[in-house]
Amino acid sequence: MHHLSAAPTSRHRARGALAALGIAALALTGCSVADQSGAGNGTTPATTDGASGASGAGTGGTVTVMTHDSFNITEEQIAAFEQESGYELTTTAPGDAGTLVNQLILSKDNPTVDAVYGIDNLSAQRVIDEGIVAEYASGALPESAQDLVVQDRLTPIDQGQVCVNVDGEWFTENDLAAPTTLEDLARPEYAKLFVTTNPVTSSPGLAFLAATVTEKGEDGWQDYWQRLLAGGTKVAAGWSDAYYSDFSAGEGQGAYPLVLSYSSSPAFAPATGVVEDTCTTQVEYAGVVEGAKNPEGARAFIDFLLAEDFQASLPENMFMYPVDESLELPAEWAQNATLAEDPIEADLRQIAEKRETWREDWNALYEAAS
Amino acid sequence: MSLVPGDPALVPTPAPTRVPAPGQAPDTGTALPGGDRADVVPGRWRRAAGPVGRGLVWAVVAAVPLAFLAVFFLWPVGSMLARGVTDAAGQLDLSAFAEVLAESRTWRLVGQTLGLAVAGTLGSLLLGLPGAYVLYRCRFPGRNLLRGLSTVPFVLPTVVVGTAFRALLAENGPLGFLGLDQTLTAVVLAMVFFNFSVVVRQVGALWSTLDPRTGEAARMLGASPWRTFVTVTVPALGPAIASAGSLVFLFCSTAFGIVQTLGRPGVGTLETEIYIQTTAFLDLRTAAVFSTLQFVVVILAVTLANRFRAGTETALRLREPTSHPLRRGDAVPFAVTMLTVVLLIAAPIVALVARSFQSSQGWGLRNYELLGSSAGSGFAGGTTVLQALEHSVKIALDATVITLVVGVPLALLLTRPVRSRWAARAQRLFDAAIMLPLGVSAVTVGFGFVVSLVASAPQLAYSGALVPLAQAVVALPLVVRSLVPVLRAVDPRLREAAAVLGAPPGRVLRTVDGPFLVRGLGLAAGFAFAVSLGEFGATTFLASPDYQTLPVLIVRLLGRPGEDNYGMAMAGSVILAVLTATVMLVCERLRPRGAAGTGAGF
């Protein structure tokens, strides 16, 4: 009896189906509630007339920049950039610094962005070896940052340090001297007080692993980590987990008075400090993507990141220090969170060649210990 | 199987006489014979044109969901999986499989994944069954509130749940004495926390419509309450239990955040391994092999559940949902449910809510006051929490529309009575396959988008326009799952009768299937909305930085130092939770009386 169906009704149904398709098409093409404009930063009023109304030097068009997800730029800054350069700015932030590099590698034959910001020193060499970034020497680079440029391709934008942070109050209350060296951490009385982050899943964790390899040597780092883990050092999955849940001076008031964090963290937690001897440098770079459709715009954006306005906003916007060292830091930073004098500097080439091996070896060591 | 073989309710009847809601019956049965006889045109020519034309129409209807799934699911995931079986030159190369499968570590990963997922599923079923009974079959003050509360975990970002759980379980926390911090037990508990409501809703909705007289008859014939439960109730609930169990299993086997955060994972699971291979080592070949293994596990689970479901799917005598006031005999399930809700569901939520009212200035509303500004310490510029909330709601509305546009034809297709064995088989296959998006790693999907859609249409991708589409893929399985049982409840004889009486297929669809569809639609829309609201994995890959959603912003706030950021993350999570619970409660209310259908929980 299903065969009773008739031609007119088929048409009727066809109309329904077409209507459904139409709705789908509408939904797909922009009959949408969400007011995201096609250009990406439609929430910024300035962008709509940025290209045409600009008096800057650029030739107009869009510059697309890929950043890590901690990149933070104010609407005023976007407007200023668009005004000065004459380009419209589109940003995309697919994930953390590691995800960013992976994305660039995956799309290197068919680049989809013009500039990249947020490559750190742990990935710098790899990005260059993969041929992802083109040469660029910015005239806006401050004197203090000249040494940080990597092979004429990666321009330093900001810097910071990964350091073991100390809950000073806890040590005073428990009448124990705080550790002062990397070696101290592995001693039985301190190892059990330390929470670090997994170098496989977190970037400060990887920076710390590289620092221990640099200090303890290719032959000694595994022994050092074995002592840490055997002594009761805890490994958290990521920064927020370690700092907010496990650190005794964090919001969760955890059980560990030593935590792997940043040199800037004490600016937000005055009772804490850093173990200077454990600090290791972190530099974040920008670069012009090889094969970019708008290399001019990419260069203009990098110059903008180096200009005083953006540099001065870095501590507030991204918890990083400007590479322009002539700029003054905010008061809490100057008081509690200055950079350590003589940080551990891991070798970029060694990192590029060995980081996968280190991580695999570390993972094996950690799995065996747990 | 049955204690009372003669009871008509338990005997599978070839053509079930399912009476829908009393108010609905006239729409279907009686409307046709009356005024619509005029439509009957006894022309033979129609017979000839019918099947071909109709086949064409259904092909068009099928094209929408199929094209959608092909572009937004199969293409991205396929591009990733293809990397496991090809070498750099694109030639077939199975060596990666050989290498990975030869390692004993791989099998420990598979074992741990299965172990955790099975434990999480059993735990959810064990606690969820009493919960379904108490929250859907019994009546007591505050019941609806508890139903709403139990849905909240479903949309909380895992990072927030991890933080809330750890605040309770950590050495210094109020439940620290249990020693559960960073154990596999904590991971399983969190899985139950997330999935309790899946079981409660899906099983509860069916349970509430079971005819109580069957059980009463069994009791009368001398069966103990336990025997009655095991031999009468459980078999009747079989389809819902199988369906809920398979959903929970999928969620558990792809859990990522809670495994990483709450457990000391040791070897980890397939999901964590895929994440590590992809993001830390960018070894996409190995990641693809693990993704394929995960896929196999998921397909096996879905197949098993489907077989079980088919085996237990009998015609049930269903009626208006009924509930009775609590009785003495309900003491045990009631106590179990209260303990579950209070200790497992409410405790972490209460801890979260309490924390959201604490700030550097003591107890108060400071965290909430900060949500509209970007003035908290260490937070300059960028999307505020309130803006992100607005974005989330708008994107979720878009995603809901897309999900329904795709899901409704799909559900209709899957429930069409078909004649040929081939078509029936295709229907069954597709019915199971629609679950797959839930069983695929978020990392695989996310990077899949990068190598497929983003590579092909970068500007579209960077605009964030793909976000609601990606969320719709995630919501689709739940929406189809909630619509299909409702449509299956349509007695095929109603359709046949209508057709015999001359109603054209469009009219059959409208007058017979329509009312059932409308009933399911509210809840389906609610789920689509709630799932989109909480979606994190795919969104984080695709969201435009200027148009961040609330879950993404919460996670980013938690990644920044400063007490205000932490406080805002907590307050934002509470708002997300309240919004979701409200949406779910409203959708449940909107559902017309008697629309519980058969297991329309999901």
B44-92 pLDDT per residue, tens: 434 444 556 667 777 787 888 888 889 989 999 999 888 888 877 778 8
**Residue A208 one-letter amino acid:** F
CB of A364 within 8 Å of a chain B CB? The answer is: no
Q: Which residues of B touch A110 (CB under 8 A)?
A: 455
**Phi, then psi, of A195 in degrees rounded to 5:** -115, 125
* Rounded Cα distance, A114 and A85, in Å: 15
Mutate one of A81, A251, A319, A361 to test the B interface: name it (highest B CB count within 10 A). Answer: A251
CB B200 within 8 A of CB B135: yes
Q: For position B374, what pLDDT does the model report?
A: 62
Cβ contact, residue pair A90, B462, below 8 Å: yes
Q: What is the mean pLDDT of residues B295-313?
A: 79
Closest chain A residue to B66, measured at CA: A21
ipTM of model? 0.76
β-bridge partners, B363: B358
Residue with tokens 């990005």: A127
SS3 B409: helix
- Per-residue pLDDT for B477 more than 80? yes
DSSP H helical segments within B8-142, as ranges? 25, 45-69, 75-82, 95-102, 104-136
- Alpha-carbon distance A105 to nearest alpha carbon in chain B (angstroms): 9
- Per-residue pLDDT for B590 more than 70? no
Q: For position B113, what pLDDT does the model report?
A: 92
Cβ contact, residue pair A72, B382, below 8 Å: yes
- Alpha-carbon distance A66 to nearest alpha carbon in chain B (angstroms): 9
* Rounded Cα distance, A319 and B33, in Å: 74
In this prediction the pTM is 0.79
**Phi, then psi, of A197 in degrees rounded to 5:** -115, 155
Written as six digits, the tokens of A60 are 């107009």
CB A235 within 8 A of CB A241: no
Q: For position A59, what pLDDT does the model report?
A: 62
Tell me the pLDDT band of A171, cut-offs 50, 70 and 90. very high
- Per-residue pLDDT for B585 more than 80? no
* Rounded Cα distance, B469 and B423, in Å: 29
Mean pLDDT, all residues of chain B: 78
CA angle, B478 then B392 then B200, to 5°: 30
Closest C-alpha among B524, B308, B600, B299 to residue B433: B299
SS3 B325: strand
Burial class of B530 by CB neighbour count within 10 A (0 to 12, 13 to 18, 19+) = buried
Q: For position B14, what pLDDT does the model report?
A: 35
Q: For position A223, what pLDDT does the model report?
A: 96
Domains of chain A, first to last: 47-159+283-322 (3.40.190.10), 161-281+338-369 (3.40.190.10)
Q: Please tell me the least confidently modeled range out of A165-179, B124-138, B151-165.
A: B151-165
CB of A10 within 8 Å of a chain B CB? The answer is: yes
Say which of A4, A94, A254 has its CB closest to residue B170.
A254
Tell me the pLDDT band of A294, cut-offs 50, 70 and 90. very high
Cβ contact, residue pair B547, A239, below 8 Å: no
Tell me the pLDDT band of A43, cut-offs 50, 70 and 90. very low
Length of chain A, in residues: 370
Q: For position A58, what pLDDT does the model report?
A: 52
* Rounded Cα distance, B106 and B44, in Å: 64
Q: Which residue has the higher pLDDT, B69 or A95?
A: B69
Closest C-alpha among B493, B489, B480 to residue B598: B489
DSSP for residue A339? P
User: Tens of pLDDT along A239-261?
Assistant: 988 998 899 998 878 889 999 99
- Per-residue pLDDT for B252 more than 50? yes
Q: Which residues of A touch B466 (CB under 8 A)?
A: none
Q: For position B111, what pLDDT does the model report?
A: 92
β-bridge partners, B424: none
* Rounded Cα distance, B528 and B514, in Å: 20
B53-81+360-439+446-602 has which CATH code?
1.10.3720.10
Q: For position A281, what pLDDT does the model report?
A: 94
Q: What is the mean pLDDT of residues B202-211?
A: 81
Residues contacting B54, CB < 8 A, separation 6+: A5, A10, A13, B505
Closest chain B residue to A314, measured at CA: B380
- Per-residue pLDDT for B526 more than 60? yes
- Per-residue pLDDT for A205 more than 50? yes
Q: Which residues of A touch B566 (CB under 8 A)?
A: 244, 251
* Rounded Cα distance, B304 and B63, in Å: 28
Q: For position B419, what pLDDT does the model report?
A: 77
Q: What is the mean pLDDT of residues A98-114?
A: 87
CB A246 within 8 A of CB A165: no
Measured CA to CA in angstroms, residue B72 lies from B208, B271, B441, B476, B548 at distances of 37, 21, 15, 12, 21
* Rounded Cα distance, A101 and A119, in Å: 7
Closest C-alpha among A99, A58, A243 to residue A162: A243
Mutate one of A12, A31, A64, A92 to test the B interface: name it (highest B CB count within 10 A). Answer: A92
Q: Which residues of B touch A246 (CB under 8 A)?
A: 170
Count of CB atoms situated within 10 Å of the CB of A121: 24
User: Tens of pLDDT along B129-138?
Assistant: 999 999 988 9
Q: For position B445, what pLDDT does the model report?
A: 84
- Per-residue pLDDT for A282 more than 60? yes
Say which of A12, A35, A36 has its CB closest to residue B504.
A12
Listing DSSP states for A28-89 in one string gives HHT--SS---TTS-TT-HHHHHHTTS--SSS--SEEEEEE-TT----HHHHHHHHHHH-PEE
- Per-residue pLDDT for B299 more than 70? yes
Q: For position B470, what pLDDT does the model report?
A: 87
Q: Which residue has the higher pLDDT, A181 or B315?
A: A181
Domain ranges within chain B, ordered by starting residue: 53-81+360-439+446-602, 83-356
Q: Which residues of A touch B275 (CB under 8 A)?
A: 201
* Rounded Cα distance, A85 and A78, in Å: 11
**Can you give the C-alpha Rg of chain B in angstroms?**
25
Written as six digits, the tokens of B534 are 């909480």
Count of CB atoms situated within 10 Å of the CB of A11: 14
* Rounded Cα distance, B40 and B36, in Å: 8
Q: Residue B381 — left, alpha, or beta (φ > 0 → left; ψ -120 to 50 → alpha)?
A: left
Residues contacting A9, CB < 8 A, separation 6+: B504, B505, B506, B507
Class of domain B83-356: mainly alpha
- Per-residue pLDDT for B153 more than 50? yes
Cβ contact, residue pair A69, B556, below 8 Å: yes
Please tell me if the domain spanning B53-81+360-439+446-602 has the same topology as the one spanning B83-356.
yes
β-bridge partners, A159: A283, A321
- Per-residue pLDDT for B403 more than 90? yes
* Rounded Cα distance, A301 and B226, in Å: 72
Longest dimension (CA), chain A: 91
Q: How many CA atoms lie within 13 A of B416 on its CB side?
A: 26
DSSP for residue B28? I
Closest C-alpha among B264, B111, B124 to residue B180: B264
CB of A129 within 8 Å of a chain B CB? The answer is: no
Q: For position A314, what pLDDT does the model report?
A: 92
DSSP for residue B42? -
Q: What is the mean pLDDT of residues B13-32?
A: 34
Tell me the pLDDT band of A290, cut-offs 50, 70 and 90. very high
Cβ contact, residue pair B46, A36, below 8 Å: no
CA angle, A94 then A96 then A102, to 5°: 70
% of residues, chain B, pLDDT over 70: 84
**How many angstroms separate the first and last alpha carbons of chain A?**
66
User: Tens of pLDDT along B539-581?
Assistant: 887 887 778 888 888 888 887 777 788 888 889 888 988 888 7
DSSP H helical segments within B416-466, as ranges? 421-433, 442-449, 455-456, 458-462
Measured CA to CA in angstroms, residue B132 lies from A315, B212, B258 at distances of 52, 15, 25
